[in-house]
């Protein structure tokens, strides 16, 4: 009987026990601001290389007071039309290979600044 009374008392007490309860959180401020300042620097270094290559060949002959046959060929002997008179003569030969090389080195620096303000109230 004593055991039955003890179990009944524990059961009755357990029915009235409500357990843990959450307490509402109430902020203790009415307004505020948040400011943010961010700075960043980015540096970009570039090297640009370009090589022009000729795979064939070219041969050019120009002039004044010069006898140039229909199709000029390397090794041709050219003669003056009017010997002893003024003349100009130009002979250009480009064989296969590199005709031009270009190299550009550049550095770019970018600076960024961001400021922000957030205002809030309750």
User: Are the C-beta atoms of residues 122 and 30 closer than 8 Å to each other?
Assistant: yes
Long-range contacts of 74-81 (CB under 8 A, 24+ apart): none
Specify if 64 maps to a domain: yes
Q: Is the pTM of this model over 0.95?
A: no
What residues form DSSP beta bridges with 93? Answer: 59
Please indicate, yes or no, if residue 91 is contained in any of the structural domains. Answer: yes
Q: How many domains is the chain built from?
A: 1
Specify if 65 maps to a domain: yes
Question: Can you tell me the distance from the alpha carbon of 17 to that of 10, in angstroms, rounded to the nearest whole number?
Answer: 11
CB-based contacts of 56, cutoff 8 Å, min separation 6: 96
Percentage of residues of the chain with pLDDT beyond 70: 80
Residue 73 sits in which domain range? Answer: 52-98
Instruction: Name the more confident of 2 and 50.
Output: 50
Q: Which segments of the chain does DSSP mark as H helices, in order?
A: 2-16
Residue 121 lies in a domain: no
User: Quick check: is 58 in a domain?
Assistant: yes
* Whole-angstrom distance, CA of residue 80 vs CA of residue 8: 137
In a domain, 20, yes or no: no
Residues 32/120, Cβ–Cβ less than 8 Å: yes
Render pLDDT for 28-52 as a digit per residue (tens, 0 to 9): 767 888 999 999 999 999 999 999 9
Report yes or no on 77 lying in a domain.
Answer: yes
């Amino acid at each position: 009987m004593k055991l039955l009374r003890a179990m009944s008392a524990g059961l009755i007490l357990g029915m009235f026990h409500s357990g843990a309860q959450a307490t509402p959180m109430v902020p203790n401020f009415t307004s505020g601001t948040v400011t943010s300042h961010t700075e960043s620097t980015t540096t970009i270094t570039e090297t640009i290389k370009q090589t022009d290559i000729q795979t064939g060949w070219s041969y050019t002959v120009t002039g004044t007071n010069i006898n140039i046959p229909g199709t000029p060929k390397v090794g041709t002997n050219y003669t003056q039309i009017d010997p002893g008179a003024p003349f100009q003569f130009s002979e250009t030969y480009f064989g296969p290979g590199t005709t031009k090389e270009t190299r550009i080195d550049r550095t770019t620096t970018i600076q960024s600044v961001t400021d922000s303000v957030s205002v809030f109230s309750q």
